[in-house]
Structure 1
Amino acid sequence: MFKTIFFYRSKALLRSKETMFWSLLFPMLLGTLFYFTFTNILEGEGFETVPVGLVDTGQYENEEAFLGALESVSGMDDERTDEGSGDILFNVTKAENEEEAEKLLSEGKISGYILLGEDIGLVVNKSGYGATIIKSFLDYFKQKMSTVENLMEATAGKITPDQLEEALQTREYVKEIKVSEESPNIVVNYFYTLLAMSCMFASMAGVAEITGIQANQSPLAARLNIVPAPKLKVFLGSAAALAVIQTAIIALVFLFLALVLRVDFGKDYLLTMLTNIAGVITGISFGTAVGAVLRAGENLKTGICSALVMLGCYLAGMMDVQMKYRVQANMPVIAKINPVNRLTDAYYSLYYYDTNGRYWQNMAALGIMTLIFLTVTFLVIRRQQYESI
């Protein structure tokens, strides 16, 4: 009986256009959209050299010191180059007078210009990234010069060059400890959430499975209830077929994301596949629990189940990656009981961390959730009785 149910249920699932679309084609289409939307988002975050003008009137007292400091962080050419190297802070254009600098500024060729007169001045026509960087550099230089003047005054000019260098040295009091060789990448979270959503979409098929053995839901379910076989055995055969088909579908989605779209899932694809299987089983058990508990038609159950999955996707950062971190910071309990978030975090753990401690925590949480969902399902369907069929 189990083999017969497994075989024919597998054939029915493979012929289901709805299952093929939502579980296979829809994630691939959405993943392709994510790829074209986010693929170059991190490349655009690279540092850009700031174009700045310099007008030197020869009246600034510490002109030599300032020019030395500016030269150390910039490419000081007599003629302006339109492309910065990306390795320097400023691309400096020397102007003969303030009128020439004003022209460059009005034409947008520089973000601002530095005026070396009796003091250091900065002229910009609008606030922004470039103006902020220039001002920060000038403030830093002025602070250092003020420190030098105070030290010279306090020591009556007797401070040695080595002592002065030691006093001006910048020290780091915060040590960075890397937990991974990989660089943090928030973009992959969108793809991980997409794969987690695909796994949890099995919940809608799980609703159909549990509805299929409820005699008050359809004539087919009524006929199954009069079959001389335990209802639990019928359910397990059908659920096993669903788990196998859904796992195969998720494997195809995963391979599409990893091999075609080049999404980085880390180096351990076996554990990634194990996560896929755990996600499918969690999704199916979640759907069966919803279908067993709710006393409504199959369409309403499926709609409620779909809404809960999409809410979980939103809270896990699928639509807004910052939502994931806001939930973890302000509602940690929601993050812990959200299966989509657990799956997403499991994928990210394999990608980012060098150890698998956090990964196994997520897998254990998914196992506990699955056990709870299945227990609820079995308790409910075991007690369901029908006066007539």
Structure 2
Amino acid sequence: MFGFLFKYGIKRAILNKEALFWALIFPFFLATIYGMILTKLDKQEDFVAIPIMVEDRAYEGILGQIEMEGKKVFDIKDYKNPDKALESGKIEAYIRGDIIKPKLLIKNDTVNTAIVHGVVSQIHHMGLSVTELMKEPANRSRIDSILKDLKNTRKYEIKNSENLKKKSTVSVYIYSLLAMICLGASTFGVAIVEGLNLKSDFDTSKRISVSPIPRIKYLIGEFAAYFLITSINTLVLYAYIRYALKMDFSGSQAQIICGLLAGNIMAMAMGMFIALATRMSTNAKFSICAGLYVFSSFLAGMMNASLAGFISNKLPFLNYINPATVLTRMFTSLYLFEDSRLYMYSIMNICLISLVLFVGGVLFARRNSYDSI
């Protein structure tokens, strides 16, 4: 039975022209346009120190000692008005507070600000660890060995300057584009739900509703079929961006593919949730879904990197619930850092969002079934 439903789902996915347009054709043309523009804008330049300001003097001393191949990573500036200096572009980041409670302010979400964020995060967590350990009197006499252990176990390496010189300065746009490609699978989520909706525009929905096949089996078969189609689609587009457009990526192929597949599942869950939560025509649901995933990519910095910086400063919680931002951060962590912890945190974030969307979809499905009684 599953094999039959799986084959049937694949046929429906291939024949669903509207879903295929938003999941395949639209991202393909967008990737081509972005690739042509960004490859011209991207210039290979030597890595230069990142201009920043630090409020706490002790923190300033720590950051001032960080080097790569004998070169300072951060250029510590001193302006009377840090906010004005940040707005004018004289500095790329301003760190308020101390090691225990730092607050990072940025204007644009770029490779440099991602480096600052990673270093500040690592110093912050190490400071909290030392504070907790020093609460025990027995640990105070072992401070040297504790700091050495923390240094070895909490290593947060920035890729060396030779690698950084080869990195694209417009990578945030490419990763936002990858996130958008993943989120295109949300239209398939709408198609799965509308296939069971008697009021949908699909001719097959009425035949399926009167068939003796349990709906849960139908959903499993359809989800597996659409997931296979969107996974192939995503991997083809990824290969096109990487090899045909010659865009730079980091991390192992397994990590990137795993991230793309996890993003597809989250996107399909989002599409199913939208289809179940709204009472509109099928075409309207497709339009809402497409608009939402484009808007999500916009918030992640695809069209304007300064917006991502504004959100990080003013509305940081959006970075953990906006699907495109979570996906972009996941790929950026592979691009900048040897440590895979940020990547794993992002994967867990994606799983949590997917779970919430699936549970929300189930609740709306139960509501709709009660309304039809």
TM bucket, shorter chain? 0.5 to 0.7
Shift of 1:46: 7.3
Instruction: Identify the residue that residue 240 of structure 1 maps to in structure 2.
Output: 224
Return the structure number with greater helix share: 2
Instruction: Identify the residue that residue 159 of structure 2 maps to in structure 1.
Output: 180
Amino acid at match of 2:209: N
Q: State the TM-score, normalized to the length of structure 2.
A: 0.65
Would the alpha carbon gap of residues 29 and 385 (structure 1) be closer, same or farther in structure 2, given more than 3 Å must change? closer
Q: Structure 1 residues 203-212 or 215-224, which shifts more? A: 215-224
Instruction: Identify the residue that residue 352 of structure 1 maps to in structure 2.
Output: 336
For the residues of structure 1 that align with 2:39 and 2:339, how far apart are their CA atoms?
A: 27
Does the 8 A contact of 2:186 with 2:272 survive in 1?
yes
2:191 to 204, 208, 215: 208
Instruction: Identify the residue that residue 34 of structure 2 maps to in structure 1.
Output: 34
Task: Name the Cα RMSD after superposition.
Answer: 2.4
Q: Structure 1 residues 246-255 or 346-355, which shifts more? A: 346-355
Instruction: Identify the residue that residue 222 of structure 1 maps to in structure 2.
Output: 206
Q: Structure 1 residues 245-254 or 350-359, which shifts more? A: 350-359
Structure ranking higher on relative contact order (CA contacts 8 Å, 6+ apart): 2
Counting matched residue pairs gives: 260
Does the 8 A contact of 2:157 with 2:338 survive in 1?
no
Question: What is the CA deviation profile of residues 151-184 of structure 1, one whole-angstrom value per residue up to 9, with x for unaligned ones?
Answer: xxxxxxxxxxxxxxxxxxxxxxxxxx96223426
For the residues of structure 2 that align with 1:354 and 1:41, how far apart are their CA atoms?
A: 27
For the residues of structure 1 that align with 2:284 and 2:222, how far apart are their CA atoms?
A: 21
Amino acid at match of 2:330: A
For the residues of structure 2 that align with 1:250 and 1:213, how far apart are their CA atoms?
A: 26
Would the alpha carbon gap of residues 26 and 385 (structure 1) be closer, same or farther in structure 2, given more than 3 Å must change? closer
For the residues of structure 2 that align with 1:211 and 1:19, how far apart are their CA atoms?
A: 12
Shift of 1:40: 3.5
Shift of 1:17: 3.9
SS of equivalent to 1:336: helix
Identity %: 28
For the residues of structure 2 that align with 1:328 and 1:305, how far apart are their CA atoms?
A: 25
Any unmatched runs of 5+ in structure 2?
A: 48-155
Does the 8 A contact of 1:215 with 1:223 survive in 2?
no
Does the 8 A contact of 2:14 with 2:20 survive in 1?
yes
For the residues of structure 2 that align with 1:311 and 1:246, how far apart are their CA atoms?
A: 20
For the residues of structure 2 that align with 1:327 and 1:185, how far apart are their CA atoms?
A: 23
Amino acid at match of 2:312: Q
Would the alpha carbon gap of residues 223 and 207 (structure 1) be closer, same or farther in structure 2, given more than 3 Å must change? same
Instruction: Identify the residue that residue 264 of structure 2 maps to in structure 1.
Output: 280
Instruction: Identify the residue that residue 2 of structure 2 maps to in structure 1.
Output: 2
Instruction: Identify the residue that residue 281 of structure 2 maps to in structure 1.
Output: 297
Q: Structure 1 residues 227-236 or 363-372, which shifts more? A: 227-236
For the residues of structure 2 that align with 1:220 and 1:25, how far apart are their CA atoms?
A: 24
Does the 8 A contact of 2:42 with 2:169 survive in 1?
no
SS of equivalent to 1:287: helix
Question: What is the CA deviation profile of residues 255-280 of structure 1, one whole-angstrom value per residue up to 9, with x for unaligned ones?
Answer: 01111112122140111000110011
Q: State the TM-score, normalized to the length of structure 1.
A: 0.62
Does the 8 A contact of 2:22 with 2:290 survive in 1?
no
Equivalences for residues 123-142 of structure 1 within 5 A? none
Does the 8 A contact of 1:215 with 1:386 survive in 2?
no
For the residues of structure 1 that align with 2:314 and 2:39, how far apart are their CA atoms?
A: 30
Question: What is the CA deviation profile of residues 12-65 of structure 1, one whole-angstrom value per residue up to 9, with x for unaligned ones?
Answer: 322444444432233232222222212142428679xxxxxxxxxxxxxxxxxx
Does the 8 A contact of 1:35 with 1:261 survive in 2?
yes
Question: What is the CA deviation profile of residues 78-129 of structure 1, one whole-angstrom value per residue up to 9, with x for unaligned ones?
Answer: xxxxxxxxxxxxxxxxxxxxxxxxxxxxxxxxxxxxxxxxxxxxxxxxxxxx
Amino acid at match of 2:298: Y
For the residues of structure 2 that align with 1:320 and 1:216, how far apart are their CA atoms?
A: 39
